């Protein structure tokens, strides 16, 4: 049933919606993330030397780090490998296409999150799709529905998938039983998420840059060792993306369709553009400039997919054949340079990415909980306990079923969010013209 649902949702139905929304915002903002590419870096990473604004929230960088904590996970390692296995090398091309269009989509939803957010009594900002659906569209019932679906999705997309990949990687590298890994991970995550979004953002702000640089260095080392294979590998990506070599055999349609499906699905799983999850983290930022925070969202997609997913995909394509399990495939690629330590390197990378991802997704569930139940502490405590209890379960489930569940869950939380940002697009376009001109 999950496979059938995933095949339908990630067929022409969802691909058309995602691509259409991405094109709509890319054109509507006059190709903002691309034509103001340099300014995007100046307004985001270039502003880190400035003194952060005072307030009960978090800095814009910490907000992006929290959002990246949920994005940078198994999607960048096992997810890319899974896309290549199921969709062929061409899946990487469609991942790029999806990401370039998704930069404008993420910019729009983050900007709307800042425009429609609300303060809690303790001064902390709360925002996200449920707030701009209720206050922008006046559709309270849809906001409640989104919150309920998102809370359930945090247990699958943000929890089971990450922990499942982490457990398989550590079991393969060190022989540790998956259940033991799940129990230890539950304890580590529990100690962090009970301190709320500020605690998660502090961990993310320190770990995300370190992990990204470490993993990037490892992937670059693999590419350097197989430099002669880089151009042929990218040739395979383009040929597979358009079915050039398969056309004679009558398989072009199937190959292109699979490449588009898995490239787009895994790309969205990785960067979360259009899902409405990351805007909840960005809404906590101490800033009143919605357009500038939107640029942090666009940068988030660029770092996650264009940089890190590409590095993973390229490292695999230049070094190993496309066969085996997804996490094992990435480990095998790194092993061509680091030997037996390659598998350990990937296992540690997946573990660190997965833990921060699980912590980041817990924040989204807490925002939904706060929206649905206000400042009541009991529902929040119950949610946190359920979230922690799900971690050991994810460590023993099969990855095939977890990926199928995640693909289906992602669609259900994306649909109301995509509808909302399209209906509120005039506000985004006016904001963009006011801040960046025509």
Distance of CA 300 to the CA centre of its chain: 9
pLDDT value of position 188: 86
Quote the domain boundaries for residue 177.
2-47+55-436
pLDDT value of position 121: 78
The predicted-structure confidence for 349-374, as pLDDT tens digits, reads as follows 888 888 888 887 888 888 899 899 98
The predicted-structure confidence for 95-149, as pLDDT tens digits, reads as follows 898 889 889 999 999 999 999 999 887 777 889 999 999 999 999 999 999 999 8
Distance of CA 11 to the CA centre of its chain: 20
Q: At what angle do helices 399-423 and 425-436 cross, to 10 degrees?
A: 70
Give the model's confidence band at 432: pLDDT under 50 very low, under 70 low, under 90 confident, else very high. Answer: very high
pLDDT value of position 305: 87
DSSP 40-87: HHHHTGGGTTSPPPPSSSB-HHHHHHHHHHHHSSHIIIIIHHHHHHHH
Distance between CA 189 and CA 191 in Å, rounded? 5
What CATH number should be reported for the domain holding residue 160?
Answer: 1.20.1740.10
- pLDDT (average), residues 390-402: 80
Radius of gyration (Cα) for the chain, nearest Å?
20
Distance between CA 185 and CA 197 in Å, rounded? 18
pTM for the predicted model, two decimal places: 0.84
pLDDT value of position 232: 92
The predicted-structure confidence for 143-185, as pLDDT tens digits, reads as follows 999 999 888 888 877 788 788 888 888 888 888 899 999 999 9
Which range, of 235-244, 367-376, 414-423, averages the lowest pLDDT? 235-244
- pLDDT (average), residues 272-279: 84
Tell me 123's DSSP state: S
Exposed, middle or buried by CB within 10 Å (0-12, 13-18, 19+), for 398?
exposed
Distance between CA 94 and CA 264 in Å, rounded? 6
How many domains does one find in the chain? 1
pLDDT at 342 over 70: yes
Distance between CA 307 and CA 356 in Å, rounded? 19
- pLDDT (average), residues 313-320: 92
């Amino acid at each position: 049933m999950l496979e059938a649902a995933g095949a339908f949702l990630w067929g022409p139905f969802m691909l058309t919606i995602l691509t259409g929304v991405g094109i709509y915002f890319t054109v509507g903002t006059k190709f903002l993330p691309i034509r103001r590419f340099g300014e995007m870096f100046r307004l985001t990473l270039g502003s880190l030397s400035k003194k952060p604004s005072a307030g009960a929230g978090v800095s814009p960088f910490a907000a992006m780090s929290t959002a990246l904590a949920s994005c940078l996970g198994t999607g960048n390692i096992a997810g890319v490998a899974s896309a290549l296995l199921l969709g062929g090398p061409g899946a990487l091309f469609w991942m790029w296409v999806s990401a370039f269009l998704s930069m404008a989509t993420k910019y729009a939803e983050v900007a709307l999150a800042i425009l429609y957010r609300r303060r809690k009594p303790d001064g902390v900002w709360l925002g996200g799709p449920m707030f701009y659906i209720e206050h922008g569209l006046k559709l309270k019932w849809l906001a409640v529905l989104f919150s309920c679906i998102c809370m359930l999705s945090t247990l699958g997309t943000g929890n089971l998938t990450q922990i499942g990949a982490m457990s398989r990687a550590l079991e393969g590298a060190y022989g540790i039983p998956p259940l033991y890994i799940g129990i230890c991970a539950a304890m580590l995550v529990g100690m962090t998420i009970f301190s709320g979004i500020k605690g998660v953002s502090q961990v993310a702000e320190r770990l995300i840059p370190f992990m990204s640089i470490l993993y990037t260095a490892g992937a670059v080392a693999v590419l350097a060792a197989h430099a002669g294979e880089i151009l042929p590998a990218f040739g395979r990506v383009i040929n597979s993306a358009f079915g050039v070599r398969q056309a004679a055999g009558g398989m072009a349609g199937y190959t292109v369709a699979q490449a588009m499906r898995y490239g787009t699905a895994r790309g969205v799983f990785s960067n979360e553009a259009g899902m409405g999850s990351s805007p909840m983290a960005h809404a906590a930022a101490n800033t009143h400039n919605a357009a500038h925070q939107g640029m942090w969202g666009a940068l988030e997609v660029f770092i996650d997919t264009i940089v890190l997913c590409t590095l993973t995909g390229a490292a695999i394509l230049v070094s190993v054949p496309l066969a085996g399990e997804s996490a094992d495939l990435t480990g095998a690629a790194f092993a061509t340079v680091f030997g037996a330590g390659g598998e350990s390197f990937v296992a540690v990378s997946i573990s660190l990415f997965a833990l921060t991802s699980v912590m980041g997704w817990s924040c989204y569930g807490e925002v939904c909980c706060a929206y649905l139940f206000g400042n009541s502490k009991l529902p929040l405590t119950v949610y946190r306990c359920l979230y922690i209890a799900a971690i050991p379960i994810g460590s023993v489930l099969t990855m095939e079923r977890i990926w199928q569940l995640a693909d289906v869950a992602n669609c259900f939380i994306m649909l109301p969010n995509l509808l909302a940002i399209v209906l509120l697009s005039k506000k985004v376009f006016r904001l963009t013209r006011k801040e960046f001109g025509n």
